[in-house]
Amino acid sequence: MEIGRPDRPGVGPGSEASIARYLIAALGARSVSVRRMDKLGGGAIQENYALDADVSGGPQAGAQKLVLRTDAPSGVAVSHSRAQEFALLKAAHEAGVTVPEPLALCTDKAIIGRPFYVMKRVAGTAAGHLLVRDDRWKGDRVALAARLGRELAKIHTIRPPRDDLAFLELPKQTPALDAIAGYRGWLDTYRAPRPALEWGLRWLERHAQKCADLVLSHRDYRTGNYMVDENGLTGILDWEFAGWGDRHEDIGWFCSRCWRFGMNQREAGGIGARADFIAGYETESGQRVDPQQVHYWETMAHARWGTIAIQQGERHVSGAEPSLDLALTGRRVAELEYQLLRMTAP
């Protein structure tokens, strides 16, 4: 989980022409004109740009609203490459998951200096602080919580082995023990001790259970990583951490206090009731959710996010990517450790 460095060029003034030329071949078009290109907010680890393009000829002919997704100047090494993320997005799309339609992958750095892919842009907002509070975006909260449960169950229909996802490593021990080893390994190299996180990892190690059924775990399935408009869900986003894992991992991550954006009484991502979310999952999957395993993976969520928050803060402190957002994320570690201690108290 090493911190990256800002040594790569990226999207900037004049990129529109290069991107348009690339899209002609990628979309099988006669011509493409990029009328607008704006950097989108969010995306602490990757960068996203909104493209408005006029496409002549080919299957995508017409005015297209697109998103170009590429690497941020620095990031964490556990994030998938854009080619790998594109493969995951395609697999999810083919499984019937509500995701932005993937269109084209570019690994030629001559275009913008970095690999990138292009997908269709979906309507709405992903801003967690708005989704949990602003009635404009809520739609039917019961229906939204249940829908998100059903979408997660569709993701979990993707199972190994898959030739198109061969880059995903199978667990060496169990998904839980592999995760613990990864976090502990990184903390062992960190410049300062974090005893509360070490306590949490030891608790998780002692309470780990075997995984009966490996599935594709999104590993960042939470409020802030899906789009919602006035009518409901429009797309599941950000597949950069996905891997083979335990189905309860995503459920625990979604329900953890980390991602309720202050609306702690709504245990399902700050937008609804845990029971509605799990009912949607169980209805779609036909499988029962184990509450004890959900609690276990909720606890893991705080250990994981605590470790990531340190890394995000280090991206700012190290000078690799000066950012107020990253600095503020680093300041959240103490509250995550506090919650981790509460969840593992005897």
Q: pLDDT of 47-85, one tens digit each?
A: 999 999 999 999 999 999 999 999 876 555 568 999 999
Which part of the chain has CATH 3.90.1200.10? Answer: 128-343
Is the full-model pTM beyond 0.95? Answer: no
Structural tokens at position 77: 């090494």
Report the distance separating Cα 225 and Cα 215, nearest Å.
20
CATH number of 15-120: 3.30.200.20
Report the distance separating Cα 9 and Cα 187, nearest Å.
31
Among 51, 99, 114, 71, which residue's Cα sits nearest to residue 239? 99
144 neighbors 138 (Cβ within 8 angstroms): yes
Lowest-confidence segment of 39-53, 167-181, 218-232 by average pLDDT:
39-53
Check pLDDT > 50 for residue 7.
no
To 10 degrees, the CA torsion angle through 266, 268, 271, 273? -60
Question: How sure is the predictor about 4, in pLDDT bands with cuts at 50, 70 and 90?
Answer: very low
For the chain, the average pLDDT equals: 92
Which part of the chain has CATH 3.30.200.20? Answer: 15-120
Largest CA distance in the chain: 67
Instruction: CATH number for 128-343: choose from 3.90.1200.10, 3.20.20.70, 3.90.850.10, 3.30.590.10.
Output: 3.90.1200.10
| DSSP letter (8 states) at residue 122 | P
Report the distance separating Cα 170 and Cα 191, nearest Å.
30
Report the distance separating Cα 181 and Cα 190, nearest Å.
14
Q: Name 248's Cβ contacts closer than 8 Å, sequence gap at least 6.
A: 289, 290, 293, 294, 296, 297
Helical segments of the chain, H only? 15-26, 82-94, 128-131, 141-155, 175-189, 195-207, 247-255, 274-285, 291-317, 324-330, 333-343
Report the distance separating Cα 15 and Cα 178, nearest Å.
41
The pLDDT of 297-326, averaged and rounded, is 94
